[in-house]
Every structure is written in C-alpha cells, then in structure tokens.
Amino acid sequence: MIRCKTQGAGNPVFTMSSDADLTIKPAPRYARFSRRLRGIVLDWIIAMVVMFGAVLVATTVRSDDFARALGILVVVALLLYEPVLVSLTGGTLGHYFTNLRVVDERDGGNVSFLKACARLVIKGLLGWYSFVIIAATRRNQAVHDLVTRSTVQIRDPAKALPGQYITERTELAASGLPSRGRRVAVICGYLLLLTMAFFVVFAGIIAAGLMSDACINNDFCSAGERFLILAAALALLPLSALCIGLGWRGSLMGARKIS
C-alpha cells in the first residue's frame, strides 16, 4: 500500500507499507476444561515417572545419604517445575503438548514467577474446586486464573480444533442480567441446597445398609464402600459447576436474565 505524507515545506513524500500493518489481530482462544485436563494428566504422568525413577535409583544405589539427597532434589524440582516453566516458557510440558499457554491478562505475555507460584499454591489448596467456576466466567478462568489475572489460551491457533477452545463469552456482559450480588446470593442458595441433598442421599445410603458401622464410626471401609463415598463426593462437583454456570448466566430461578 502507498501512503502519502508531507515533509518540510509541504513537499509530498510517498512511502510503502505492507498490508500486515492493517491486519486485525485474531481474538484470543481460551482453552476448554477438557483440554486443560489433558495437560494436567500429562504433567501428573511426568511427575509419577520422575518419582518412581528416583525411587528406583535410590533402591539401586542403596545409600541412605544419597536417597535423602535425591528425595530432597526431586521434591524441590517438582515444586519448581510449574512456576519456572510457566514464567519462562508460558507453560509446563503438559501445556506444551496440549498446545496451551498461560497468559498474563495485563500485557499478553508470560506471567511472572511470583504469579506462577501463586497459581500453584491456590490450585494445591482448592484442588478440582478451583475449576468449578470455569463455565461462569467470560474467559474460561478457574479461581487460580482469576486471582492471578491470567488466562489459559491456545498456543498455536493453526493447530487447534474448534472444540478445544472458546472465544470470550460476550453474553455474560450483556444487559438484562441481574446484579452480581443477586446472582452470587442465588448461586450460594442453590449450592447450599445441593449440599443438603448430598447429605440426605448419604443418609439414605447408610439407612439402606450399604455402609458398615466400622466404616461410619471407625473409618475401616472396604474397597466398595470407599468407592461409593468417592462417587457420591465426585457427583457433587459437576452439579456445583453446573449450578454456578447457570446462575452466573442468569438461568436459575430467582436470578433470571431479563430478555
């Protein structure tokens, strides 16, 4: 493209500029939970390989001092694994192999080392519950993303499929939604009802004789009883996520969106 500008005493000067200057930057692609879950599983596998490898080496060498030093080294390496890689490269190996990148909302670059550490600590404290609010956010952010003002995006859009990401949910900013306070209050009410329902179901399981007295009183549970407890607890997680997502979008009774 040819541009004309004046220089000095009104003399026209023609300059060339490429069409790349006018290219519109594509909208960020925010990773879906299923894609992030794959990255987490890959990082977990890597951590397991490192730990079992360290145990194998320690048992082969048969030296208490060496085993102790190796154990400390492995623990430190696993603790620094995510913060160092996220701050330097934008993601862990799990992020890289699933085409994801952790991005700082302020400048679009990598998050700082301190932010990466904060993300790790919050995830460690909340566990899977950090991801419950993803469906209720405009950029598919978990709690540790919101607190550190970061997002998880597709690293290379050319290699991504449409089902692996979303663009920003503009409908969450549309008019007609109840106030944030009202939506939060209604969501909390529904979560309380879900929790009460969970305890009612658990009481029904006990009344039906599916749990032994040893498991209830002394925590001596069989494999089947532990599986039943785990299944009941895990059922509460997606229901809570659904409740939060619907409530924040104004789809729950008591805080519906005005169309």
Q: What tens digit of pLDDT does each residue of 36-72 get?
A: 999 999 999 999 999 999 999 988 888 888 889 999 9
Q: What is the pairing mode between strands 150-154 and 100-104?
A: antiparallel
Is the distance from CB of 122 to CB of 58 less than 8 angstroms?
Answer: no
Q: Which range has highest mean pLDDT (39-53, 130-144, 209-223, 244-258)?
A: 39-53
pLDDT for the residue numbered 20? 47
Is the distance from CB of 259 to CB of 176 less than 8 angstroms?
Answer: yes
For the cut 50, the answer to whether the pLDDT of residue 10 exceeds it is yes
Q: What is the pairing mode between strands 30-31 and 100-104?
A: unpaired
Element spanning 11, H or E: strand 11-16
Mean of pLDDT over the chain: 84
Is the distance from CB of 86 to CB of 111 less than 8 angstroms?
Answer: yes
Q: What is 52-100 written as a DSSP string?
A: HHHHHHHHHHT-HHHHHHHHHHHHHHHHHHHHHHHHHHSS-HHHHHTTE
Instruction: Return the CA Rg of the chain.
Output: 25
> Which residues fall within 8 angstroms of residue 158, CB to CB, at 6 or more apart?
none
Question: Residue 81 has which token pair?
Answer: 């694994």
pLDDT for the residue numbered 23? 53
Q: Which residue has the higher pLDDT, 219 or 113?
A: 113
Per-residue pLDDT, averaged over 101-110, amounts to 94
For the cut 60, the answer to whether the pLDDT of residue 15 exceeds it is no
What is the percent of the chain where pLDDT is above 90? 42
Is the distance from CB of 88 to CB of 112 less than 8 angstroms?
Answer: no
pLDDT band, residue 78 (cuts 50/70/90)? very high
Q: Which residue has the higher pLDDT, 4 or 245?
A: 245
Per-residue pLDDT, averaged over 125-141, amounts to 85
Is the distance from CB of 86 to CB of 102 less than 8 angstroms?
Answer: yes
End-to-end CA distance of the chain: 46
For the cut 70, the answer to whether the pLDDT of residue 3 exceeds it is no
d(CA 53, CA 177): 53
Q: What is 136-182 written as a DSSP string?
A: GSTT---HHHHHTTEEEEES-GGG--GGGEE---GGGGSTTPPPHHH
The mean-pLDDT minimum among 12-21, 74-83, 144-153, 244-253 falls in 12-21
d(CA 73, CA 181): 47
pLDDT band, residue 219 (cuts 50/70/90)? confident
The mean-pLDDT minimum among 27-41, 166-180, 238-252 falls in 166-180
CA atoms within 13 A on the CB side of 101: 17
DSSP secondary-structure letter at 7? E
Torsion, Cα of 99, 168, 186, 202 (10° steps): -20
